[in-house]
């Protein structure tokens, strides 16, 4: 059987590692590329599609791209689609979010959302979504994960994503749920190769 390769549109080593774990038993060789596209879409799906299609063209392979964000209820969904752009570093982005939450009563209910776009040459791009509900906590807890993981508490586990190892995080995470939706759709079995 020919090797099946799948491009992953990311320059984030943490995200690539997550995909490698989530797709480990699918017989795919994952190839990461940072497509270098501006996230100018109005939705997670539009940004995911921009990245997936650019990565697919760059590598001449089927490719996935995703966009995700944390949405805080008391802030009417902020930072949402702008989660990766409210500050120059993740530490600063997290501080911007925590500063905005000061003065609001807890719990600070939130959800992580993720949309994955799967771009296969000659086919319409497919989309898969996942979400994880929890709350933002005012202090960093744990060193694992990336992004807002250390301040996102998952109530069922009574831990932040930053306190979870990769396997535990995969039980709850928005990206893992979107990947499971993609697997369940049969889209990966239809990849050329």
Q: What are phi and psi of 51, to 5 degrees?
A: -70, -45
* Number of residues in the chain: 193
Distance separating alpha carbons of residues 39 and 82, to the nearest angstrom: 9
Which residue reads 């009574």 in tokens? 158
Distance separating alpha carbons of residues 165 and 134, to the nearest angstrom: 17
Distance separating alpha carbons of residues 18 and 23, to the nearest angstrom: 9
The 10 Å Cβ neighbour count of residue 127 is 20
Distance separating alpha carbons of residues 137 and 152, to the nearest angstrom: 6
Catalytic residue among 25, 67, 99, 165: 67
CB 142 within 8 A of CB 168: no
CB 71 within 8 A of CB 78: yes
Is position 34 annotated as part of the catalytic site?
no
What is the set of active-site residues? 67
């Amino acid at each position: 059987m020919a090797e099946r390769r799948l491009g992953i549109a990311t320059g984030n080593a943490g995200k690539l590692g997550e995909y490698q774990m989530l797709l480990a038993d699918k017989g795919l060789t994952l190839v990461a590329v940072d497509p270098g596209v501006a996230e100018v879409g109005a939705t997670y799906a539009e940004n995911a599609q921009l990245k997936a299609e650019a990565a697919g063209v760059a590598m001449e392979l089927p490719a996935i791209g995703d966009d995700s964000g944390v949405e805080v209820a008391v802030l009417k969904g902020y930072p949402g689609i702008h989660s990766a752009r409210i500050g120059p570093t993740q530490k600063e982005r997290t501080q911007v979010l925590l500063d905005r939450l000061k003065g609001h009563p807890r719990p600070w209910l939130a959800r992580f959302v993720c949309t994955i776009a799967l771009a296969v040459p000659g086919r319409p791009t497919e989309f898969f979504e996942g979400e994880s509900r929890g709350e933002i906590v005012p202090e960093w807890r744990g060193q694992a994960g990336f992004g807002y993981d250390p301040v996102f508490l998952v109530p069922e586990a009574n831990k932040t994503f930053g306190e979870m190892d990769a396997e535990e995080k995969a039980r709850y995470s928005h990206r893992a749920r979107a990947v499971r939706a993609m697997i369940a759709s049969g889209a990966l079995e239809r990849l050329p190769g």
